[in-house]
């Protein structure tokens, strides 16, 4: 599938700030399931800094905007050719051992309810079957409802609420997998359409579980599937904050507001 992405993030400040520093994970991952045809990231009035590929295989790019500045626009535009690998992250080079992703962070710390959900998902057929059962259990336990949660909602809170968004599904999947001794991590990216074919209005997130003898396998409880050719993978981390496509800080007293628009199209249609 040939997918085009237009992703615009606007930061506005009610008072001009002296400077803004950002770190981006906005470059598609390099693996057998996707090939970048063209890709460009721009930052209004931004000065591009150094870049590197981190231990998880993600491209990290730094930017600086000198103030006074009241608004910043980060624009991503590009085209990626994708292939369905049934969720398998084949051909992805990274240095971090999978065991690193057994360590919990605050959003993915399991409470008694998450532990019970995980234990009920054990499958005698092995780790892959267990991971599939965990993803299905999370999808059943947390109904998808935009606006039900916020950026700092934990997996335990989303499960107790019984509602959430893709971030909550990914955090709950990760928490349960780690309870069962399976390394798991959060993945950020884009999705062309949901499973029923309707358009997806925002950047997307899912989880990956490490299966011995197979490698990292993606699971998207929000859409009850493994990532396929509709998905573009950007980067990963222990949780949503760690894997955030844009991280940064502003110097000044101005209060920040955020507006994000994402459009993903299939150029072969």
| Residue pLDDT, tens place only, 7-63 | 999 999 999 999 999 999 999 999 999 999 999 999 999 999 999 999 999 999 999
Distance between CA 230 and CA 192 in Å, rounded?
A: 5
Distance between CA 131 and CA 136 in Å, rounded?
A: 9
- 142: pLDDT confidence band, cut at 50, 70 and 90? very high
Torsion from C-alpha of 149, 150, 152, 155, nearest 10 degrees = 20
User: Is domain 84-237 given the CATH code 1.10.1740.10 in the classification?
Assistant: no
Task: Please tell me the chain's helix, strand, coil percentages from 3-state DSSP, rounded to the nearest 5.
Answer: 20, 45, 35
Average pLDDT, the chain: 95
List the domain boundaries for the chain. 2-80+246-266, 84-237
Q: What does the pLDDT read at residue 268?
A: 83
Closest CA to 173 of 229, 231, 101, 234: 101
- Asked if pLDDT for residue 228 goes beyond 90, the answer is yes
204-216: average pLDDT:
97
Report the CATH fold assignment for 2-80+246-266.
Immunoglobulin-like (2.60.40)
Q: What does the pLDDT read at residue 67?
A: 86
């Amino acid at each position: 599938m040939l997918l085009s992405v237009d992703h615009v993030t606007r930061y506005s400040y009610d008072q001009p700030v002296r400077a803004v520093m950002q770190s981006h994970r906005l470059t598609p991952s390099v693996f057998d399931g996707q090939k970048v045809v063209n890709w460009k990231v721009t930052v209004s009035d931004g000065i591009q800094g150094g870049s590197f590929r981190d231990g998880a295989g993600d491209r990290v790019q730094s930017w600086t905007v000198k103030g006074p500045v009241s608004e910043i626009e980060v624009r991503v535009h590009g085209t990626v050719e994708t292939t369905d690998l049934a969720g398998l992250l084949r051909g992805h080079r990274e240095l971090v051992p999978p065991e690193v992703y057994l360590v919990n962070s605050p959003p993915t710390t399991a409470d008694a309810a998450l532990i019970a959900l995980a234990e009920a998902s054990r499958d005698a057929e092995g780790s892959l079957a267990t991971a599939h059962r965990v993803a299905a259990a999370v999808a059943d336990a947390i109904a998808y409802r935009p606006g039900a949660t916020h950026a700092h909602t934990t997996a335990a809170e989303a499960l107790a609420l019984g509602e959430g968004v893709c971030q909550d599904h990914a955090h709950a999947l990760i928490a349960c997998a780690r309870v069962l001794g399976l390394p798991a991590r959060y993945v950020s990216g884009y999705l062309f359409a949901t499973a029923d074919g309707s358009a997806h209005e925002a950047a997307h997130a899912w989880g990956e579980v490490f299966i011995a003898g197979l490698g990292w396998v993606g699971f998207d409880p929000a859409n009850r599937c493994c990532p396929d050719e509709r998905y573009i993978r950007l980067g990963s981390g222990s949780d949503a904050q760690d894997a955030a496509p844009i991280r940064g800080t502003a110097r000044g007293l101005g209060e920040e507001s955020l507006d994000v628009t994402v459009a993903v199209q299939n150029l072969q249609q």
